Chain A
Amino acid sequence: MARLSIEHLRKVYGEFTAVDDCSIDIAEGEFLVLLGPSGCGKTTTLRMVAGFIQPTAGKITIGERDVTNLPPWKRNCGLVFQSYALFPHMTVAENVAFGLEMRKIAPADRAPRVTEALRLVRLTGLDERYPRQLSGGQQQRVALARALAMEPDVLLLDEPLSNLDAKLRQEVRVEIRDLQRKLGLTTIMVTHDQEEALTMADRLVVMEKGKVRQIGTQRELYEKPADRFVAGFIGRSAFLEGEAASGRFRSGGGLDITCKAATSGPATLALRPERLAIGAEAESCANRFPARVEHVSYLGALLDIDVRLTEQDRILLQVPNRQGAAEPKPGDMITIGWAEDAGLVYPREP
């Protein structure tokens, strides 16, 4: 295992910049997740690390080795493909042994390593099956075993769970994470599934339109989103548009809000739905406004409430579904409130 460093990586296709000045450092044994909407450049980045796409500019280093100009077969990155890409004409054992064979390891020495790799992914005894005889989850594990058997410097996972059903996805998620920890694998995973990213990663990289928007832990991304995009992408946020000036924010609908604004001028205020209080609990808040309930979604443990503050200002709040508490109904007038530091202010993006 080795550390991986990506410096000022760029990929341009004609007029289109797929990845723009992307720099990421991944520590030895770290699980890093590239997260972003489709077309954000995360897969392109992963494929550049694997060597399938030649970067326009930038540098990729694995351990001490500059691999930027090496072909895929000289990089020693274990890649698990979204479609698994198992060799259909080879048995499970032959699939797993392929990487070892390519490394000129004697057949006698391959067998124990194949057995070990299959044991790790809990597929012992399926050596002689063909991929078509396996379920989707089993195929996924063979792909993982095949990548692990060759003892790669880094493990790359390209949406590895997207072809599994929801229940299996949960299981495999935990399995991959445990295995990654146990073996101390430096890992990059690409996904567009937030929950997957949040539960598996040590650190996350949020990408959009080819750019890295923010790198950080789950907590950092959620508590201190670097910009409006991240605030909306990681978890949910309600946004109010308006003007910021010296610790105040005036919304488009005329609300005067106390906040910790660092900027002034046209701005967006982001509020996390669960950081808002209603009724009596709102009394002690720095910001208190009357609001009309527009819609209530019953989610069991929680209630999602859409409220309107003014013609232009709408907010989503999430409150615990407490026993005995009166459930607001559409049309009710309620008081909502939030603390001074609950609102995050971002300069309005052009």
Chain B
Amino acid sequence: MSVARPSLGRLALNGAATLSLGFILMPLFFVVWLAFFRQEIPSFPPEGYSLKWFQAAANNKPFVDGFILSLQVGVLATLIGLVLGVPASLALMRHRIALGPAINTLLLLPLVMPGIVLGTSLYVFQIETEIATGLPVLGSLGGLVAAHSLVVIPWVVKLVTASLAGFDRTIEEAAQNLGAGPWTTFRRVTLPSIRPGLVAGSLFGFVTSFGNLEMSLFLVGPGRTTLPIAILQYLEWKIDPTVAAASVIQIVLIGAAMIVTDRYVKLSRVV
């Protein structure tokens, strides 16, 4: 009788996977741990545990305002990203467009472009627009939302085109054959079929917008800071665990959003 023993390669693979996973989860673990430390200056080992930093974060006006602004910007940018990204994906996947692949790459570009570069160019662009039109652009909610839409679009396009790739168009013809006009066909047949891509694209787009720091640094105005910037500004003066507590709240919210989404759309299947 021989006992099935995992091969050496299998062991090495599991080992490497465990190491990688540990490496990824390490910061998360320390942030969460730190949020419960009692002392003001983070040092090891902790002197004791407390929940007071969560209260401090909730009472910190810049954090609360930043959270609300980030939420507003994230939601608006995601909506705009969807309105622009979905038709773009449909057009790219369904019609022979001159320079189609080039346009596709262009739409995905904000994802790979360094935030600093994106921020600087948008900063210059928005100033020039202000000079040219006389409208307040830089530092306005509109300016911020426009910029954030730019980082949402790649996610929407990427995930919606992926779900369109496996889509059987004859079911659209079937709908039309049964009496559905183009809009009804889109709403009743096409949309439900690309919903996984739509949901995942919105979620990742929103999270990217919500956590964006580098680009936003250039574009926020006085009295209008997003949460990541509020945290950065706080860190310039203090390093107490309030920041860790604020981060934990953020992590929990985003984690919850992903779990809820995953109930309706299996994220592992679309990403």
Contact = CB atoms under 8 A, between A and B. Distances in A.
Interface of A: 50-52, 71-79, 81, 83, 85-89, 98-99, 102-103, 146-147, 150
Contacts of A83: 168, 170
Interface string B160-189: 000000001011011111111100100011
**Which DSSP category, helix, strand, loop or mixed, fits chain B's interface?**
helix
Given A72-B177, A87-B175, A81 B170 contact: yes
A72 B171 contact: no
A113 to B, nearest CB: 13
Contacts of B178: 73, 98-99, 102, 146, 150
B171 A102 contact: no
Given A73-B180, A88-B193, A102-B180, A52 B173 contact: yes
30 contacts: A50-B177, A52-B173, A71-B181, A73-B176, A73-B177, A73-B178, A73-B181, A74-B179, A77-B177, A78-B177, A79-B173, A79-B177, A83-B170, A85-B171, A85-B174, A86-B174, A87-B175, A87-B188, A88-B193, A89-B192, A89-B193, A98-B175, A98-B178, A98-B188, A99-B179, A102-B178, A102-B179, A102-B180, A102-B184, A146-B178
Contacts of B168: 83, 85
A89 B175 CA distance: 13
A88 B179 contact: no
A86 B171 CA distance: 6
A79 B174 contact: yes
Most A CB atoms within 10 A — which of B173, B175, B178? B178
A141 to B, nearest CB: 15
B173 A81 contact: yes
Most B CB atoms within 10 A — which of A71, A72, A81? A72
A146 to B, nearest CB: 7
Contacts of A85: 168, 170-171, 173-174
Interface in B88-109: none
Nearest to A156: B177
A83 B168 CA distance: 10
A313 B62 CA distance: 98
Given A83-B168, A85-B168, A86-B171, A72 B176 contact: yes
Given A76-B179, A99-B178, A102-B178, 6 more contacts: A73-B178, A73-B181, A74-B179, A78-B177, A85-B170, A89-B193
Contacts of A74: 179
Contacts of A77: 177
Interface string B63-86: 000000000000000000000000
Contacts of A78: 177
A102 B179 CA distance: 6
A72 B177 CA distance: 5
Contacts of B177: 50, 72-73, 75, 77-79, 147
Contacts of A81: 170, 173-174
Contacts of B192: 89
Contacts of B181: 71, 73
A87 B174 contact: yes
A340 B193 CA distance: 64
Nearest to A99: B178
Contacts of B179: 73-74, 76, 99, 102-103, 150
Contacts of B176: 51-52, 71-73
A247 to B, nearest CB: 54
A83 B111 CA distance: 38
B270 to A, nearest CB: 15
A206 B48 CA distance: 89
A97 to B, nearest CB: 10
Most B CB atoms within 10 A — which of A75, A79, A85, A86? A85
Contact of B189 (A51, A52, A87): A87
Contacts of A75: 177
B59 to A, nearest CB: 47
Most A CB atoms within 10 A — which of B170, B176, B177, B188? B177
A29 to B, nearest CB: 21
Given A73-B181, A99-B179, A102-B179, A88 B174 contact: no
